[in-house]
Amino acid sequence: MDSRPRETDAAPADPSDGGVVPRAVKGGAEISRPRNDKRGYRRVVLPNDLVCLIVSDPDTDKAAASMNVSVGYFCDPEGLEGLAHFLEHMLFYASEKYPIEDSYSKYITEHGGSTNAFTTCEHTNFYFDVNNDSLDDALDRFAQFFIKPLLSADATLREIKAVDSENQKNLLSDPWRMSQLQNHISLESHPYHKFGTGNWDTLEVKPKEKGLDTRLELIKFYDSHYSANLMQLVVYGKESLDNLQTLVENKFCGVRNTGRGRFSFPGHPCSSEHLQVLVKAVPIKQGHTLRILWPTTPNIRHYKEGPCKYVSHLIGHEGEGSLFYVLKKLGWAMSLEAGEGDWSYEFSFFGVTIKLTDVGHEHMEDVVGLLFRYITLLQTSGTPKWIFDELQAICETGFHYRDKSPPIHYVVNLSSNMQIYPPEDWLVASSVPSKFSPDVIQSVLNELTPDNVRIFWESKKFEGQTNLTEPWYGTSYSVEAVPPSIIQKWVEKAPMEDLHMPKPNMFIPSDLSLKNAEEKVTFPCMLRKTLFSRAWYKPDTMFFTPKAYIKMDFHCPLSHSSPESTVLTDVFTRLLMDYLNDYAYDAQVAGLYYGVRPNDTGFQITMVGYNDKMRTLLETVIGKIAVFEVKADRFSVIKETMTKEYENFKFRQPYQQAFYYCSLILEEQTWAWDEELAAVSHIEASDLEKFLPHLLGKTFIESYFAGNMYPGEVEGVMQHVEDILFNSPINLCKTLPSSQHLTKRIVKLERGLRYYYPALCLNHQDENSCLLHYIQIHQDDLKKNVLLQLLALVAKQPAFHQLRSVEQLGYITLLRQKNDSGVRGLQFIIQSNVKDPASLDARVEAFLTMFEGTLYQMPDTEFKSNVNALIDMKLEKYKNIREESAFFWGEISEGTLKFDRKEAEVAALRDLNKEELIEFFDNHVKVNAPQKRILSIQVYGGLHSSEYEKILRDEPQPNSNQITDIFSFKRSRPLYGSFKGGVGQMKL
């Protein structure tokens, strides 16, 4: 046998070609690819049977790699639940070649990259990105995961705690709980039944009871399961295909091939006893959810025909005549989703998930009856080809004009595809159905019958009515039979509504031509300014796709003047989206996305996607604002939705509650969630009717247009908006004087003081506590910005290693920068069930003391390496119009207008020396630094309630102040100035 790597190439695409672009390559394989994709691709099979895809992108700023291993938690040995997931954790620690613990993660972080991994039922995926010039060394470290990892005894015990902490984080999460319940109600003999995460009990206690050594079992699992022939590698870099191939061959030829056969798990996880069942379950959060599931033929077996895509498009449709349209009209549903859920090549579940209103919950049988009636309509209507053609056109356009994504996401997607699809479809996967087969579509529809249905119905109203408990998460549930005869009765008694197929989609783009800018424009310019609005414009000079981006901020001073006005503004935006849904749903299907959301100064319209029909959609949204009326029935559904969201606030993770308290303390005009909940509970439709004329009565519109559009189009759109809202006979909006413009301002903490705010976790069942340790440093300043960014880069990995890997304080452990309207600082976040927040605070201080030595003794070469890594990160080009627009819009909305910020910061970085970084650390971050400003948010979970009582009683330490009343504290502190100074008056 020829021992040389076998290879196939895909040459760069010619953008002038039409259709999916296959390239004839060595060895006869063809890779279908987008017509505007200029990257080079090569399939290489190493002598050890490791299959590789090499991607050469001369324009990339980042290199990346992903190794997919065709081994997941389905392979866990009996009684060692979570072993595959635990192994994923352990491979990060150290290897024989690189024995220093965490040296891989440290190298990646110091060279501008990030790294992670995940485990699913049938595969485990490891991935990273890094600055281009560091790919060689990064790959060398990465490859050792699969050649000779250490799997040390010391790390084993510590990382079992990390897995347990990860599981603790999920215990009160409804998505995790309900997913495991579906697994639980299945054949015990099928691996689908397993618990995949693992915890202290499954990885430490139970094995010991059986006389097993977890580390030895881990090594045995690795040796017998991790084989080169079960791996798929993607490497993405700037170099040529030949150079990248040489790199891959040199690094990965040492991965052992044991000739392990591909793991297969035949048979369906559900027998007849798990079908025709109604499972009632008690969730953690308020709300009612109906999940209707059927075992079906996996879509992967017919992915070119795309039967599930076709069926889910129809059942999940939201336009007139659809199931959701009818349920919404009846006031029974808040949302509906349909599609293939859990699947492998051997089995699949097709699911419909409906969020019910309180009234819908009372009509569950009617809801299921209407669903089956709609399915019967689809089963008996044939499978119209025009629907397939429409879907194919949408999917093909989406494939060819797919936004370029960050390499780290791209490689994960490709390596996962390599396990499933033949090489020619590694890029396209199942995204574009290409063969119309009515029989295949009909066969999937015919599987959606009452005979093999599983209905999961979740509601807090079932508390006290269940008799069973799921063992891993403790979910209470009951099971009862629902034979087809019962469902038939539900179908017969359901209301006779007009269900029908969707109409043709008018939003499918027909004009995909490019409107290239005549000159290379680097930054946005202000195109138009009037008393009513201001428009910024940035043509596309980088991406060359038929897409555009619009952001439109409505500045309304009344929007946040009280908890009631905040809530009413929110209700207004939700109702607006609700009214538009029947019309605009087709736009989203066709790749034109929009949203209307409240923001800090009023509300905001965002649109992104194909520019062809964007103006039509925007003018429809503006027209709906102009003639807005409050419909009492929809108002009550939105009010109910919001009430549940506010009531569910207390079930947020402790770290999310800590973020909330931090914002509440630091931001000038924010209201407490319980005040907003009280406001929601007493507002009525008439309140919104009275409020809206006042909300919109004084308005200024700040807008940003970018992408494939001409300046004249932008000016025309803004003139139309002004004509409708400001110049019409109704005159809905009036000009907003500059004196009334809102700005978001931030509380300035006292130098040399530590403020702390202790709070009990709002969910008393949650055992986890959280510390958010915030060090406020400065307001937007070029030199200090880069010093802070560099310090965060240098400290990030040591903080994670010490606090998470060594001390095992908690799974969620991170150090990051915080930027609030230009006020910048550092945040440590630790969520833990092993230490209370005050103790975590002490561990952060201990880390900073330890880090002092690391910083002071840092070799000049390492300092320079970190500076260069940060420069490379700043010089990264935007991947797509969303990324570019997010940056420029941030400068506009904050009033800083530093469009050349990245270039200026790079210049500042080039002049930086190590002494300046040390001085910055000594002044602002070091323990007891003279200028240090600290805010410590301490959320106490159920395990630490006694420590909470103690901290309330104890006298504060010297230079420490306890915040007892957030709003009194805010009123007593000065505020940082805003950069805006009035939107209409901003200097340029």
Q: Is the pLDDT of residue 985 over 70?
A: no
* Residue among 946, 932, 972, 970 at smallest CA distance from 758: 946
Q: Taking the CA atoms of the chain, what radius of gyration do you get in angstroms?
A: 29
Tell me which of 3.30.70.20, 3.40.1190.20, 3.20.20.80, 3.30.830.10 is the CATH number of domain 747-976.
3.30.830.10
Biggest CA pair distance of the chain: 84
What are the pLDDT digits (tens) for 573-586? Answer: 999 999 999 999 99
Would residue 88 show up in a list of annotated catalytic residues for this protein? yes
The pLDDT, as a whole number, for residue 221 is: 98
HEC secondary structure over 50-88: CEEEEEECCCCCEEEEEEEECCCHHHCCCCCCCHHHHHH
Predicted local confidence at residue 84, as pLDDT: 98
**Looking at residues 921-935, what average pLDDT do you find?**
95
User: Is the model's pLDDT at 20 over the cut of 50?
Assistant: no
Domain spanning 272-406+419-493, CATH class: alpha beta
The answer to whether the CB of 440 falls within 8 A of the CB of 247 is: no
- In the chain, the percentage of residues whose pLDDT exceeds 70 is 96
In the chain, what percentage of residues exceed pLDDT 90?
A: 92
| Predicted local distance difference test score (pLDDT) of residue 907 | 97
Q: Is the pLDDT of residue 213 over 90?
A: yes
Question: Taking each helix axis from N to C terminus, what angle separates 685-697 and 632-647, rounded to the nearest 10 degrees?
Answer: 90
- Which residue in the list 7, 81, 88, 947 is annotated as catalytic? 88
At residue 142, the pLDDT reads: 98
| Section 463-490 average pLDDT | 98
Instruction: Label residue 16 by pLDDT band (50, 70, 90).
Output: very low
**Fold type of domain 40-253:** Cytochrome Bc1 Complex; Chain A, domain 1 (3.30.830)
Q: What pLDDT was estimated at residue 26?
A: 37
Q: Is the pLDDT of residue 986 over 50?
A: no
Residue 739 confidence (pLDDT): 84
* Confidence tier at 342 by pLDDT (50, 70, 90): very high
Sheet with 348-356: strands ordered across: 333-343, 348-356, 288-295, 454-459, 277-281, 476-481, 468-469
Quick one: DSSP state of residue 229?
G
pLDDT per residue over 768-817, tens digit each?
Answer: 999 999 999 999 999 999 999 999 999 999 999 999 999 999 999 999 99
Residues of the chain with CATH 3.30.830.10: 40-253, 272-406+419-493, 525-740, 747-976
| Residue of 81, 101, 110, 159 with catalytic role | 159
Task: Give 29's pLDDT tier (boundaries 50, 70, 90).
Answer: low
Residues 622-638 have pLDDT tens digits of: 999 999 999 999 999 99
Question: What was the pLDDT predicted at 742?
Answer: 82
Interval 281-292: pLDDT, tens: 999 999 999 999
- Confidence check: pLDDT of 913 > 50: yes
At 510, list the tokens.
């027909």
Residues forming beta bridges with residue 536, ordered by sequence position: 526, 704
Q: Residue 336 above 60 pLDDT?
A: yes
The pLDDT confidence band at residue 23, using thresholds 50, 70 and 90, is: very low
Active-site residue 159, yes or no?
yes
Name the architecture of domain 525-740: 2-Layer Sandwich (3.30)
pLDDT digits (tens, 9 = 90+) for 161-192: 999 999 999 999 999 999 999 999 999 999 99
pLDDT at 309 over 50: yes
Between 484-493 and 364-380, two packed helices, what is the crossing angle to 10 degrees? 90
